[in-house]
Amino acid sequence: MTVTIKLDAALEEQLRQRAQASGLSTSEVVRAALQAYLSSEDAASPVRSAFDMGADLFGRHAGAPDLATRRRLGFVAAAADRHARRG
């Protein structure tokens, strides 16, 4: 299989230098790098969503589960008190 990739000038130069230093062709260096990447742990793990990566950070804190409800009811009661005092 033939694959064409685009490299910036700096990466191309690094590839050429690595190939020359190791006595391999650029294709052999790319092939070896691809094999190493595909057999690595990072490539083997599935791509996870942002939610999956932060799942242990999300959720309700320790404490009462109805804080927003109680706060809203407090505002309603305070408004009712003010209204009752006015009129």
Identify the CATH class of 1-45: mainly alpha
Residue of 37, 38, 33 whose CA lies nearest to 15: 33
Domains of the chain: which residue ranges?
Answer: 1-45
> For each of the chain's 87 residues, which pLDDT tens digit applies?
899 999 999 999 999 999 999 999 999 999 999 999 888 876 667 778 888 888 888 776 666 777 677 788 888 899 999 989 987
The pLDDT score that the predictor gives to residue 44 is: 66
Give me the DSSP letters along 17-80: HHHHHHT--HHHHHHHHHHHHHTSHHHHSPP--HHHHTGGG-SPPSS-TTHHHHHHHHHHHHHH
pLDDT of residue 5: 93
